[in-house]
Amino acid sequence: MPRKDLLDIASLDREEIEHLLDQSAPFKDLFTRSVKKVPALKGKSVLMLFYEPSTRTHSSFEVAAKRLSADVTNFDVAQSSITKGESVRETIETLQAMRTDYVIVRHKASGLPGTIARLTRASVINAGDGAHAHPTQALLDAFTIKEKFPEPAGRKVLIVGDILHSRVARSTCTILKKLDVEVAYLGPGSLVPKQGADKVRRFTNYNEAMAWNPDIVYLLRVQMERQDVQYFPSLREYHKLYGITDARLEEIRKRGIYIMHPGPVNRGVELCDAVMDYERSLINDQVENGIAARMAVLYWLKPGGV
């Protein structure tokens, strides 16, 4: 049963997740054809409303919408009346009058996409809200993992870094747990939230975490812009304790472990340069799969209520 909006992963059930992952595969097959476009959303309009910077999510939504033949409008926040004090509500009412079918929104305030969804008949897709959720990142991550492990249940994913500020960690952990993948966190105690009801294992020591035998090491970007206080002594120290150094990469290679990262990467912090050429790095696969996963989401949602 299609939904109007995609605001988070927590509210999707396993059947819906499996459906979206299954639907991503034929969309990815399109990429190898000479004509990469299908008319599925011909005549529909997609508005990109990004209040925070983005390279991958923004461009991949734009490509996804265009490959489905939708018309895409980029709302230039820097040039809009928002800079003159217009509220988000007023902006949405203006956009509503334009009869947009889909609004893709990124904002630093957790929950804002949900507010917009209640104010408009358009389908709203959360492209990242504060430290809350990034559902399409989670879908593309799960799709990428399923390409390597078609039956991912029981596989182990170690998420490393700034869990505290990470909407990616939250959404990707949620989807993996719904697929019965085992998840553990590794990072400085100050950046790994205390054990909650989620039953995710916590490590603060790299060697102990690697002794847990992960199939995938999922590195998070250190988000300096969201850190209001200093959570670790220095970036050099972070790299030494938690980063994938050349020596650690050799060990990872010997063990056949895959590496993922949502991007953008901080070279010399989360990873050394050599990781980008590592044969089991899935970082470029994640970018490519982002288009397919987002096509599946756009195709699945039904604007105007269901």
Which residues of this chain interact with ligand CP, rule CB under 6 A?
54-58, 128, 137, 262-264
Cβ distance to ligand CP smaller for residue 128 or 214: 128
Asked if 259 and 282 touch (Cβ cutoff 8 Å), the reply is yes
**CB of residue 305 to ligand CP, shortest distance in Å:** 28
**CB of residue 190 to ligand CP, shortest distance in Å:** 23
Cβ distance to ligand CP smaller for residue 181 or 293: 293
Cβ distance to ligand CP smaller for residue 54 or 245: 54
Which residues are bridge partners to 159 per DSSP?
Answer: 185, 218
**CB of residue 290 to ligand CP, shortest distance in Å:** 8
**CB of residue 199 to ligand CP, shortest distance in Å:** 26
**CB of residue 256 to ligand CP, shortest distance in Å:** 25
**CB of residue 153 to ligand CP, shortest distance in Å:** 25
Asked if 283 and 264 touch (Cβ cutoff 8 Å), the reply is no
The number of residues making up the chain comes to: 306
Cβ distance to ligand CP smaller for residue 262 or 303: 262
DSSP state of 221: P
**CB of residue 55 to ligand CP, shortest distance in Å:** 4
Cβ distance to ligand CP smaller for residue 40 or 263: 263
**CB of residue 262 to ligand CP, shortest distance in Å:** 4
DSSP state of 86: -
Measured between alpha carbons, how far is 47 from 37 in angstroms, rounded to an integer?
Answer: 19
Cβ distance to ligand CP smaller for residue 59 or 190: 59
How many CB atoms neighbour CB 184 within 10 A? 18
Cβ distance to ligand CP smaller for residue 128 or 243: 128
Measured between alpha carbons, how far is 201 from 298 in angstroms, rounded to an integer?
Answer: 34
HSE of 214, CA atoms in CB hemisphere, 13 A: 27
| DSSP line for 231-270 | -SS-HHHHHHHHSB-HHHHHHHHHHT-EEE--S---BTTT
Cβ distance to ligand CP smaller for residue 54 or 110: 54
CA distances 64 to 37, 186, 189, 292, 302, Å, are 9, 33, 38, 7, 16
Cis peptide before 26 (omega within 30 of 0): no
| DSSP line for 174-202 | HHHHHTT-EEEEES-GGGSPPP-TT--EE
